[in-house]
Structure 1
Amino acid sequence: MKSKILKDWQNREKSIEELHNDSIVWISEINFIRDEIRFLEHLLKDNYIDCLSAGLYKKIETLVNQMSFERVAGKTLEIVIKEQEAVLSNLIKTNSVLSNKNYLDNHRKLEFEMDSFAAKYKRIKKEIFEIIENVMKQKEQKKLLS
């Protein structure tokens, strides 16, 4: 299946294998982010008291809510990607991938949504690390002063 498909949004050809590979990479990235969210939640729980004493309750609450939203968004994206993979499989069987503009449009939208999902998550992750880093520095300074 070395047939090439013109991707309108980048003016380059992408094979059916590359379209399939995109889905595999996206699912992998969603699973990785899901694992990282679990880690970040544990990190926040372990430093929760220190965050409270630093007056960061509202900021932590906002970040936890954003992580919860991203977790749900990841699950939804994963379902949509798997459905898109099923469509691709059917299109391959009927040899009609090249003529199905709807599939290509949906693939492009998924690509945009995955980029957006990953960017939002990375921003949240960066904010959490900055908060935890500052809290840990404050904790160390208190130890040194004691």
Structure 2
Amino acid sequence: MKTKLKKDWRGRTKSIEELHNDSKIWLSEIEFINYEIKFLEHLLSTNYIDYLDSGLHDRIEEFSKEIFNDKNIGTTLKDLIFEHENVLSDLIESDCVISNKNYAATHDNLALEINKFISKYKYLKMQIFEIVENVMQKKQQKKLK
């Protein structure tokens, strides 16, 4: 998705619909991440004893803190997107969306922040999945013995 955005939008001004669509996509991504965070919290808490047995208590604590932090960052980003949409609405009413360079710069900065948030979250999720996979493998080995 990042490549397409860079390729399609570089060097030209986005239309009002495209700006609004960006916000809708961002909100959708953050909502989906929030659902995944709930799942990961549940996953980490239900298998907590197994993680303790595997000696992964510290890493799980660290990931739990990071997940909580990501949840807060997602909420903050959602608030920023809603504010951004309100500014867009005001600019539409005054008919100066395209000519407002400050709004375009803010939009680009918000896009960078959201992409950074999503990338960080995906990396965290990958680390959690690796731990869960390792614990499952150890559990399976114990069953085989």
Which residue matches 1:18? 18
Q: How far off its partner does 1:12 sit?
A: 2.5
> 2:36 and 2:77 mapped to 1: Cα distance?
17
* 1:118-129 correspondence runs (5 A): 118-129=118-129
1:18-97 to 2 correspondences below 5 Å: 18-97=18-97
Q: Which has the higher strand share?
A: 1
Tell me the amino acid that sits aligned with residue 105 of structure 1.
A
Verify the 8 A CA contact 2:13 2:98 in the aligned structure 1: no
Counterpart Cα distance in 1 of 2:15 and 2:103: 14
**Which runs of no fewer than 5 residues in structure 1 stay unpaired?**
1-8
Q: Which protein is richer in helix relative to its size?
A: 2
Question: Which amino acid in structure 2 is aligned with residue 89 of structure 1?
Answer: S
TM-score (norm. length: structure 2): 0.92
Mapped partners of 2:40, 2:98: distance in 1: 42
Tell me how far apart the structure 1 counterparts of residues 143 and 73 of structure 2 sit (CA, whole Å).
Answer: 41
Identity of aligned residues (%): 53
Q: For 1:39-97, what per-residue CA distance to the aligned partner results, in whole angstroms no more than 9, with x for missing partners?
A: 00011111111111100011111111111111000000000000000000110111011
In structure 1, distance between residues paired with 2:128 and 2:66: 11
Aligned-pair Cα RMSD in Å: 1.0
Q: Which runs of 4+ in 1 moved over 6 A?
A: none
The 3-state SS of whatever aligns with 2:13 is strand
Could you tell me how far 1:13 is from its partner in structure 2?
3.2
Read off the aligned partner of 1:17 and give its amino acid letter: E
Question: How many angstroms apart in 2 are the aligned matches of 1:76 and 1:128?
Answer: 23
DSSP 3-state at the match of 1:13: coil
Please say if residues 37 and 67 of structure 2, whose CA atoms lie closer than 8 Å, have aligned partners that are also in contact.
Answer: yes
TM-score (structure 1 length as normaliser): 0.91
SS class of match (2:139) = helix
1:101 & 1:12 partners in 2: Cα distance? Answer: 12
Superposition pairs of residues 107-126 of structure 1, within 5 angstroms: 107-126=107-126
Aligned mates of 2:86, 2:101 — CA distance in 1: 16
Aligned AA for 2:63? L
Task: Give the number of equivalent residue pairs.
Answer: 137
